[in-house]
Amino acid sequence: MIEKKLIGWESQKGNWLLVILSLYTCTYFVYRDLGISNILGWFFSIFLVCFVFITRSQWKIKLTINKKTWLVLIGFIAVSFLRPSSRRDGDEVFYVVAIASATLYVLLCNASYSEIKLCRKFYKTISFILGSLILFFRVFPSIYWKTIYRFLAASPRQLAAYYVPRGYGIPVGGSLTLADYIMMLALITTFNEIVSGVAKKEKIKNAVLVLFYLLAILAEGRRGELLACVFAMFFIFMISRSKKDFMLKAGIILLVLLILYLSFNALLAAFGDNELLYRYTASIQGAEKGQDVTSGRSALWEEAIRLFRENPIFGVGFGGFANSISSSFRAIHGEDVMDVHNCFLQFLCETGIVGTVIMTSALIVIFVNTLRTISKNKRNEINNKVSNEIVKIGQTSIGIQTFLLFVCMLDPAFYKPIFWAFYGIAVILSDYAQSMSKSNNALLSKINEF
């Protein structure tokens, strides 16, 4: 009977909210590309949550550690938003709507293993299509201008006309980062399958897919997202399997770094003029000459530190940093610059020490809680199939979190509405892994009693 229960976890039913959130996240680009207001998409996602809520006869909302921490995080943001000194324009209202939508999904989602498998396939399919288009149009840009570009709304067309000739890939959803975020989901999912002990043929296939996703992300020309993906993979690699493998893992990484270091000048000479790698090699060459390669971020960081020193306890108010950006800076870098491009510095200047401690602690609690779930299941030698799947799901969550936290140091990721959808997926996966871990351990304890 107990053995049947252990097997039965694969057939448990969910409420499809994870699938809906994943679909919305991976098709978010459609709205802006077609000139449809993104806020309509968020309201539609809220409608779907309410529809599922009404049509379900039984609801049990269990406030896990992750959910409680999430509520603390968004609760503080809500309080900060209501401060008189906070910015409350249309962008900030849109931001609050996005947080409210993601919160409903996190609180009400009851994911199942079959839904998670379906989402994995969906991430890979959409990412493969996006990656193929990005690489194809990087090789044949003239086809892009004659086809896709003509059907875009005015805003994404302006973005493409400005950035593509400057070495970036094609914008997706009026953004140069959104495609990277979507492909990150497929990259982390696929990389997890490599380090989770799949068959050799599957490893080779997945390794090819990982290289494909990395190449497509590289082709978009965004340095921060590429580094974040590499760092997330590195972190997953280090925590995967047992601690006994640590020295081997460290040795492999040191060997790769040594090879790259010894061949650095040769690689730079060989690929320095390559159009695909131009932005990366130019950044390296600029850094060697002592030039600013942060695209103006250093000036924003200095201003954020200045504001923090003037308002160290509670900051200048949520979204208030935008009021301190000079007109001369905007004339050079664009009128839509509103953020510090380092979320933790923005925490400090807008919410002070108090807000930084609360928000950073919340992010750390969810991260550490996910790591604990992974660690507990790696020690399970009985019922390897269930434990391995729990570890794989947990590592997918930790990979997404690692990527987002890394990007937060270089980009205003936390302050983008779509951040909350991706982060919500990570929290839902973490909660699922923790729930399955508790059920699995309880059943294993009963087995050991016989």
| Total number of domains in the chain | 1
Give dist(CA 164, CA 138) in Å, integer.
Answer: 9
DSSP per residue, 387-421 = HHHHHHHHHHHHHHHHHHHHHTTTS-GGGSTTHHH
Find, among 197, 224, 198, 180, the residue nearest to 343 by Cα.
224
Q: What is the pLDDT of residue 285?
A: 59
Contact 226, 277 (CB under 8 A): no
Q: Is residue 79 included in any domain, yes or no?
A: yes
| 362-380 pLDDT per residue, tens | 999 999 999 999 988 876 6
Contact 321, 340 (CB under 8 A): yes
Contact 87, 322 (CB under 8 A): yes
Give dist(CA 312, CA 317) in Å, integer.
Answer: 11
Q: What is the pLDDT of residue 443?
A: 52
Distance of CA 22 to the CA centre of its chain: 12
Q: Is residue 124 included in any domain, yes or no?
A: yes
Q: Is residue 27 included in any domain, yes or no?
A: yes
- What is residue 4's DSSP assignment? H
Q: Is residue 343 included in any domain, yes or no?
A: yes
Q: Is residue 80 included in any domain, yes or no?
A: yes
Q: Is residue 381 included in any domain, yes or no?
A: yes
For the chain, the straight-line distance linking the first and the last C-alpha, in angstroms and rounded, comes to: 12
Q: What is the pLDDT of residue 449?
A: 47
Q: How buried is residue 167: exposed, middle or buried, by Cβ count under 10 Å (0-12/13-18/19+)? A: middle
Q: Report the predicted TM-score, pTM, of the whole model to 2 decimal places.
A: 0.90
Contact 444, 382 (CB under 8 A): yes
| 155-181 pLDDT per residue, tens | 899 999 988 988 889 999 989 999 999
Helix (H) or strand (E) holding 418: none
CA 363-367-371 angle, 5° bins: 170
Q: What is the pLDDT of residue 78?
A: 93
Give dist(CA 354, CA 317) in Å, integer.
Answer: 12
Please give the residue range of the domain that contains residue 26: 1-241+294-449
Q: Which residues contact 74 (CB under 8 A, 6 or more apart)?
A: 99, 103
Q: What is the pLDDT of residue 105?
A: 94
Residue type, 202: E
Q: Mean pLDDT by 10-residue block, N- to C-terminus, for the chain (450 residues)?
A: 49 83 92 87 87 72 92 95 85 89 93 93 95 94 95 92 89 93 96 79 88 92 91 89 61 67 56 59 59 72 93 92 79 74 95 96 97 83 70 95 96 94 97 85 50
Q: Which residue has the tokens 């601690």?
A: 243
Q: Is residue 379 included in any domain, yes or no?
A: yes
Q: Which residues contact 312 (CB under 8 A, 6 or more apart)?
A: 352, 353
Helix (H) or strand (E) holding 428: helix 419-449
Contact 10, 387 (CB under 8 A): no
Q: How buried is residue 51: exposed, middle or buried, by Cβ count under 10 Å (0-12/13-18/19+)? A: exposed
Q: Is residue 180 included in any domain, yes or no?
A: yes
Q: What is the pLDDT of residue 2?
A: 43
What's the 3-state SS for 318-365? CCHHHHHCCHHHHHHHCCCCCCCCCHHHHHHHHHHHHHHHHHHHHHHH
